[in-house]
Amino acid sequence: MIRERHLFGPGPSNPYPEATRALADPLLGHLDPEFLRIMDETCEMLREAWGTSNARTLPLSATGSAGMEAAFVNTVHPGDVVVVAVNGLFGQRMTDVAARCGAEVVAVEHEWGQPVDVDRVLAAHPSPAIIAAVHAETSTGVRSDIAALGAGKGDALLLTDAVTSIGGIELRADDWGVDIGYAGTQKCLGVAPGLAPFTINDRAFERRVETPRSWYLDLGMLGGYVGEAGLKEGGKAQRTYHHTAPTAMVASLHAGLTRILGEGLEAVWARHQAAGDALQSGLEEMGLELFAAEGHRLPDLTTVRVPEGVDSAAVRRELLDRHGIEIGAGAGAYATSVWRIGLMGHNARPDAVLLVLAALEDALGR
């Protein structure tokens, strides 16, 4: 059943109409000059969205999790100390991925719902090779201060998950000292899932693993994939076959980014903030308790405690069946005690906020 609107990005998302339409356009071959133009422009627009001038900025052909894998498999040498800030599910996952790459993982655990404690993370080891943190923890609805980690990282590389921040909240990879970053398309970019916007600077690229254990995600080979134009300003595109680019997905991302940059990144961030603020005060007015620490709440993903005695799943089902609204269950230990309400991309609008508040009020009989 096709539902008109969904409020939680990680489920079936609500892509911008342009991005949806691009998926229905006639397919282009992956070496068609028209596609190569679209790819080059997509990489250029991704640089803007990331806030970077990194030549190596491209959409990896797989979901955000593959971005995470690419980040670690290309930069972790066996025995490297990797400090990981863990304040939710995705930070936890980073520790697993880093360990599989042979890292000596130093996990800095936080209570869920709290932001990353920058001082504790920076003090966790005297000379880590990598410091890794999630900018926007989708599992808890918390924003962390990546710029502060960048300012204190010393000689370490800073590796950042921006899956739920790109195109939704302020993100300035270069200004903040991010050396390696990965993101996803289906959260605030409002495009179907399936690509991982990725960026790595020269400093991190020079320290990369010569022969990573992953062939597909070997960044050393991807220069040929995006072409010289993707790597050198004004360079001539020289594509060598690495894998077939998912042309429809890239065209869809191109359409989504065109829309976002047309609106203006700062305007997009402000729209998300206004929607999140309105939702969060509306929930509090209903007497509900927000989960994420005050002052560190994401506008695009709100976590709220399920009231005592309320069947979390029944309310979610009612919202979906009666109103076509999808809200998420909590993550991990909070599966039935927290709801996660996304206002991402197209859904970060006042009418979506009013609708979800009214529907929730109705479902809870408040």
107: left (phi over 0), alpha (psi -120 to 50) or beta: beta
**Minimal CA–CA distance to 156: which of 216, 70, 85, 220?**
85
Q: Report CA dihedral (62, 143, 265, 236) to the nearest 10 degrees.
A: -40
Least separation in angstroms between CB 65 and ligand PLP: 3
> Is position 191 an interface residue for ligand PLP (rule: CB under 6 A)?
no
Q: Phi, psi (5° rounding) for residue 31? A: -110, 5
Least separation in angstroms between CB 90 and ligand PLP: 4
The pattern of x and - marking residues 145 through 184 that bind ligand PLP according to CB under 6 A reads: ----------------x-xx-------------------x
State which residue, 157 or 195, has the beta carbon closest to ligand PLP.
195
State which residue, 184 or 276, has the beta carbon closest to ligand PLP.
184
Q: Which of 134, 142, 204, 255 binds ligand PLP (CB under 6 A)?
A: 134
Query: Rounded to whole angstroms, how far apart are CA atoms 184 and 328?
Result: 18
Q: Residue 277: CA atoms inside 13 Å, Cβ hemisphere, count? A: 8
Q: Which of 12, 37, 63, 148 binds ligand PLP (CB under 6 A)?
A: 63
**Choices 63-71, 242-250, 266-274, 275-283; region in contact with ligand PLP by CB under 6 A:** 63-71
Query: Rounded to whole angstroms, how far apart are CA atoms 58 and 44?
Result: 9
Q: Which of 52, 74, 138, 199 binds ligand PLP (CB under 6 A)?
A: 138
> Contact at 8 Å (CB) between 42 and 281?
no
Token pair in block for residue 166: 């790109």
Q: Which residues of 1-35 are buried (b: 16+ CB within 10 A; e: fewer)?
A: eeeeebbbbbeebbbbebbbebeeeeebebeeeeb
Least separation in angstroms between CB 154 and ligand PLP: 25
Please list every residue from 78 through 97 that binds ligand PLP, using CB under 6 A.
Answer: 90
Q: Phi, psi (5° rounding) for residue 304? A: -140, 140
**Choices 57-65, 125-133, 315-323, 336-344; region in contact with ligand PLP by CB under 6 A:** 57-65
Residue with the shortest CB distance to ligand PLP? 64
Adjacent-strand bridge partners of 331: none
Q: Which of 15, 51, 59, 64 binds ligand PLP (CB under 6 A)?
A: 64
Residue that has been written with the tokens 């000596």 in this structure: 104
State which residue, 214 or 286, has the beta carbon closest to ligand PLP.
214
> Is position 223 an interface residue for ligand PLP (rule: CB under 6 A)?
no
> Is position 13 an interface residue for ligand PLP (rule: CB under 6 A)?
no
Q: Which of 15, 193, 299, 328 binds ligand PLP (CB under 6 A)?
A: 193
Size of the site for ligand PLP (CB under 6 A): 12
Least separation in angstroms between CB 138 and ligand PLP: 3
> Is position 328 an interface residue for ligand PLP (rule: CB under 6 A)?
no
Inter-CA distances, 224 with 37, 194, 195, 228, 238, Å: 15, 21, 18, 7, 7
Cβ contacts of 189 within 8 Å, gap of 6 or more = 49, 166, 167, 183, 197, 253, 256, 257, 260, 345
> Is position 140 an interface residue for ligand PLP (rule: CB under 6 A)?
no
> Contact at 8 Å (CB) between 228 and 206?
no
> Is position 65 an interface residue for ligand PLP (rule: CB under 6 A)?
yes
State which residue, 62 or 283, has the beta carbon closest to ligand PLP.
62
> Is position 299 an interface residue for ligand PLP (rule: CB under 6 A)?
no
Token pair in block for residue 186: 């289906």
> Is position 302 an interface residue for ligand PLP (rule: CB under 6 A)?
no
Q: Which residues bind ligand PLP (CB under 6 A)?
A: 10, 63-65, 90, 134, 138, 161, 163-164, 184, 193
